[in-house]
Chain A
Amino acid sequence: MKNINKFTFLALALTLISTMALAQQEESSLQNIERKKMESLWFSNTDNAAGAQLDQMDYYSQLGINYNSTKGDFKHTQLGKHNTSYGFSTDGGGEMKNLKGMFLWGYFDYSHEKERDASFNASLIDPLRGTPFYIADQNLSDWINQSYKLGMKGATPVLGDHWIIGLGMDYENAQGAKQMDPRPNVLMSKFTVTPSLVFKANKHAIGANFQYYSRREDGTASNSVSMKTQPVWEVVAPGFYDAGEIGGGALSGLRDYNANSLGGGLQYSFAGENLSLLLSAKYAFAVEDVNNNYTQPKKIGTTKENMWDFSANLKWQLNKNNAMFAKANYYDRSIDGIEYVQVWDNSHEVAKWVILSKNIRSNFSTKQVNFNLDYMNFGNDNAYSWLAGLDVNYEKLEEIYYLPTSEQQVENLYVKANVKKNFSFGENMILVSANGGVKNNLGGSRNYTGNHAETLIYTDMVLRDYHFLLNNAYSLGGEVSYTRKGIIGDNSSLFVSATIDYTKATSCPKDYTFGNRTFVVVKAGLTF
């Protein structure tokens, strides 16, 4: 934790210095920044940093602190029942006129979270991130997680009337400490680099970007009370595991994850007088090896991930005061779980595990189709007066364990509407918003042929999560924020905001009563 704190304060200082250096003339507020981001199609919808130059976003800076609370049973089993966190965020940048029009933007986020009563996880900071290979235990436990994330996007001015070169870089570091035996202290770091290029010809532009990331996560589940072993499951897929004891036998509590991803994107945009269109396609291929020992590694498994993402974004300036934003998106992620047949070879000078064969044993697929429509009324200032939106999302989740064959499939439809009204009184602004949505299950099935249907991890996690996905629900939420302009400088604003969202399950089966879940966020900060 000490290292994280050092990095946090160093990064914080650097980010503050860089964002303060961008202080500019235009009046700034949260609503103004939200509008800028919505209008900047390349910046907000692609990884292509060069394309951000085409958005002519101008520039902004914001920094703030936040407090978050999440409570309730309507959740995946592995998540905490009651989580609280606090954090600090800042981001800012834009077109640098004193750097010959270069685009520079950066961000920094810090978060400290306490998760309470999480279960079936003794390996991962984020158990839902997509790997099926982890250690699960029987104890309800708290986790204390801390993370920081920083990054930047930069782009040259238009070179030779046509070319823009860009670069994006992100770095994330996190630490998660489980508070009950078996307890790992998990460290995670991720570095992403995204070089990009755009060719611009009049109103048309095409872009391409490459993306690589390296991600490491490791931690060893071990016992503080060493005279007592802890029963665990070495999970390879939901309902499939090898049972063992931490503190007894040959089971290693270490999980060492090493991932590399290669990918890229292609983009096309048209920028008319009142109409802007952006089409983008993105692909990534990621492989993550999971080992259980640093010096004599035995491969627990490998995930092979193929991800496709297609989107079309439209910005339509209806007239001087009104605009429409539309987005259609298709997302497809397929993760193969590879398992190995290995033998211990002690015939060499250096004994090691030797891989005899490998096979894809499982697959986890996510398909999503999303339509989003927003209407914005600008009002009389550079923020907005009204913002109303509708979001429709179809999701199909499929998983299969090939032998012995077990399958699960769930289809859901989510519809959500929201409206925001921004009241402006001289130097003061009050934003009020409300939203509501429904989750409607379109179908689901589960067929399990493994040997563990009666075990706790199957009934209390696998089956419970299946029913969680099947459950219908509704959600209600709202936000109130107050902004005061000109307190520090003419163009700056102070803000405080509070957001609450409430989700309630409406079709609980007898054995799984999910109840509800409430999310509360309180923020305060400065924009300039």
Chain B
Amino acid sequence: MKRYIYYIAAFTTMLFATSCAEMMNEAREAEIVELIDVAYKVNIRELTTSEGDKVAAPADWYQNLDVTFVNFAEQIETKATINADGIAQASVIPGIYNVVVRSIQPSEEGINYILNGLAQNAPFTKNVSVEEAAASTSEVLITPIIKDSPLVFKELFYAGSEGWYFRDQFYEVYNNTNKVIYLDHLCFANLVPEFPTPTLPEWPAVDGVDNYAYAVTVWQIKGDGDDYPLAPGESIVFAQEAANHIEISGGTSIVNSTTSVDFECWTGNQQRINAEIPDVPYVFWSGYINKMMWMVTVDGPAMALYQPGKNLEFGSDYWQEGVTTSAQVGSSGQQYARIPIEDILDAVECIPTSNDLNMKRIPGVLDSGAASVDGFYNGKSVARKIDSYRADGTPIFQDTNNSTADFEVCSDPTIRRHNVGRPAWGGKVSE
């Protein structure tokens, strides 16, 4: 017995000494930091002309791209130079970077294209030559999309109010164009990961890179195609629950009431029926359906708008794996709605704090930045900034597909801020 105790003691001492020596040797190996010269490839996909043809992006677009290496942990942004082959170069401190590409370029047709792209969490630890970058499979892939999305998210109030109150969440959508937009078939999607995380899921290889956004819940305004016109300068508002929140919350809600919204995302809770506001139905819901309520994370959701061109039904044949749904690699097979990014009218990434950019979950082409209220249950919303005004005085909101720049934090969440219009049919239950 004594011998075994001796052996155990000797083994423990040896293990401990080895671990201690390893720790010290690793620390000794570290050298003083120096700037490194790195290169990264940027690749612009074919663009779709107004006739629907696919053509290569003009060569001079590359040199006009604005490329920034963003070290979000250290809050250091380094502007990069980019050559005609799309190789961006910069001298940076070793670290994890988001390579952010932003630009608006006119085509020969006179159409302005947004060229936004993002390579997320790219590690740079040593020099990378132009040749190495050109040969690498890592790249910022840009899908040119036509500027001036007709519909934009105007204000998102997801954070909730003091006292753990979250029933006052609302989301406002605005017609940012000069023409009437019909909202029939408009889908309003909550993207995955549902909760912000730096650990992003892996999607099937066949889906490719940055071709799709994935949703956990999709709500749709159903109509015949001309039932819900939205004039320029008008907005509609979706609420989690259209109610007088001052009464329900006992005074803690920052939003007095959401009874002036146009749609309520009702999931079937008989205690929360607000008959005067029409319900918008969910047409897709991944996993367990919460019949109490539909709420998005108060930490910051990612949301998208798209119009599939027809009315969808929950549980119908429309939803098929590999066509309109996908499952995460290594998962139990739970399906999520798969939305082609070219179909998306607008998307907004919201993160817990401004420094959590490593939690971005949607492709950079849709949103190369992120908005945040820096906390939760703090009664703050993110609202789109005004870019200019139309002749009739209605605002045109900034939309560069960069929510960091396009949104501002507001401590007074307001439905139809800036006195934007409400459609005549708004908030009325259809007969």
Partners in one complex: yes
Q: Does A344 contact B (CB under 8 A)?
A: yes
| B359: chain A residues within 8 A (beta carbon) | 249-250
Contact of A250 among B93, B198, B354 (CB under 8 A): B198
Known contacts A250-B359, A360-B30: A243-B353 contact under CB 8 Å: yes
Known contacts A242-B74, A248-B375, A356-B125: A338-B353 contact under CB 8 Å: no
Assess the A285–B33 pair: CB atoms within 8 A: no
Among residues 320 to 357 in chain B, which have CB atoms less than 8 Å away from a CB atom of chain A? Answer: 351-356
Among residues 170 to 222 in chain A, which have CB atoms less than 8 Å away from a CB atom of chain B? Answer: 214
Contact of B74 among A228, A240, A285, A287 (CB under 8 A): A240
Most buried by A among B24, B27, B162: B27
Q: How far is the CB of A221 from chain B (nearest CB, A)?
A: 15
In the complex, A302 Cα to B22 Cα: how many Å? 13
| B15: chain A residues within 8 A (beta carbon) | none
In the complex, A342 Cα to B124 Cα: how many Å? 10
Assess the B198–A403 pair: CB atoms within 8 A: no
| B377: chain A residues within 8 A (beta carbon) | 227-228
In the complex, A214 Cα to B23 Cα: how many Å? 12
In the complex, A228 Cα to B378 Cα: how many Å? 8
Contact of A338 among B27, B74, B352, B356 (CB under 8 A): B27
Q: How far is the CB of A171 from chain B (nearest CB, A)?
A: 17
Among residues 377 to 391 in chain B, which have CB atoms less than 8 Å away from a CB atom of chain A? Answer: 377-378
Assess the A343–B121 pair: CB atoms within 8 A: yes
In the complex, A346 Cα to B354 Cα: how many Å? 25
Assess the B199–A343 pair: CB atoms within 8 A: no
Among residues 294 to 332 in chain B, which have CB atoms less than 8 Å away from a CB atom of chain A? Answer: 299
Q: How far is the CB of B296 from chain A (nearest CB, A)?
A: 15
Assess the B95–A287 pair: CB atoms within 8 A: no
Most buried by A among B24, B126, B197, B351: B24
In the complex, A244 Cα to B32 Cα: how many Å? 27
Number of B residues near A (Cβ < 8 Å) is 47
| A344: chain B residues within 8 A (beta carbon) | 198-199
| B96: chain A residues within 8 A (beta carbon) | 341-343
Q: Does B429 contact A (CB under 8 A)?
A: no
Among residues 365 to 404 in chain A, which have CB atoms less than 8 Å away from a CB atom of chain B? Answer: 402-404
In the complex, A228 Cα to B26 Cα: how many Å? 40
Assess the B199–A338 pair: CB atoms within 8 A: no
Known contacts A260-B24, A304-B28, A341-B125: A248-B352 contact under CB 8 Å: yes
Q: Does B196 contact A (CB under 8 A)?
A: yes
Mask: chain A, 247-272; 1 = CB below 8 Å from B; 0 = not: 11111000000101010000000000
Known contacts A227-B377, A248-B353, A344-B198: A359-B121 contact under CB 8 Å: no
Q: How far is the CB of B76 from chain A (nearest CB, A)?
A: 7
| B23: chain A residues within 8 A (beta carbon) | 258, 260, 287, 289
Q: Does B248 contact A (CB under 8 A)?
A: no
Assess the B125–A351 pair: CB atoms within 8 A: no
| B197: chain A residues within 8 A (beta carbon) | 250
Q: Does B73 contact A (CB under 8 A)?
A: yes
Question: Does more than half of chain B's interface fall in helix, strand or loop, or is it mixed?
Answer: loop
Known contacts A285-B24, A360-B31: A231-B199 contact under CB 8 Å: no
Q: How far is the CB of B398 from chain A (nearest CB, A)?
A: 24
Q: Does A39 contact B (CB under 8 A)?
A: no
| A249: chain B residues within 8 A (beta carbon) | 196, 299, 351-353, 355-356, 359
In the complex, how many residue pairs between chain A and chain B have their CB atoms under 8 Å apart?
Answer: 117
Q: How far is the CB of A225 from chain B (nearest CB, A)?
A: 11
Known contacts A245-B374, A248-B353: A287-B24 contact under CB 8 Å: yes
| B124: chain A residues within 8 A (beta carbon) | 341
Q: Does A95 contact B (CB under 8 A)?
A: no
| A361: chain B residues within 8 A (beta carbon) | 33
Q: How far is the CB of B166 from chain A (nearest CB, A)?
A: 11
| B229: chain A residues within 8 A (beta carbon) | none
Assess the B356–A359 pair: CB atoms within 8 A: no
Chain A minimum-CB-distance residue to B29: A358
Q: Does B20 contact A (CB under 8 A)?
A: yes
In the complex, A250 Cα to B195 Cα: how many Å? 11
Chain A minimum-CB-distance residue to B35: A403
In the complex, A240 Cα to B74 Cα: how many Å? 8
Most buried by B among A336, A339, A342: A339
Q: How far is the CB of B301 from chain A (nearest CB, A)?
A: 14
In the complex, A338 Cα to B33 Cα: how many Å? 9
Q: Does B94 contact A (CB under 8 A)?
A: yes
A245-B375, A248-B299 are known; give 9 further A-B pairs, CB within 8 A. A228-B375, A250-B359, A260-B20, A260-B23, A260-B24, A289-B23, A304-B27, A343-B123, A344-B198
Q: Show 30 residue pairs from A and B whose CB-CB distance is below 8 angstroms, ordered by the A residue.
A: A227-B162, A229-B378, A240-B74, A242-B74, A242-B75, A242-B355, A243-B353, A244-B356, A248-B353, A248-B375, A249-B356, A250-B196, A250-B198, A250-B352, A250-B356, A260-B20, A287-B23, A302-B27, A304-B27, A304-B28, A304-B30, A341-B123, A341-B124, A342-B96, A343-B96, A344-B199, A357-B94, A357-B126, A359-B30, A403-B34
A-binding residues in B (CB < 8 A): 20, 23-24, 26-35, 73-76, 93-96, 121, 123-126, 162-164, 196-199, 299, 351-356, 358-359, 374-378
Q: Which 9 A-B pairs have the closest CB atoms?
A: A249-B352, A357-B125, A359-B33, A229-B375, A287-B27, A304-B27, A260-B20, A248-B352, A338-B30
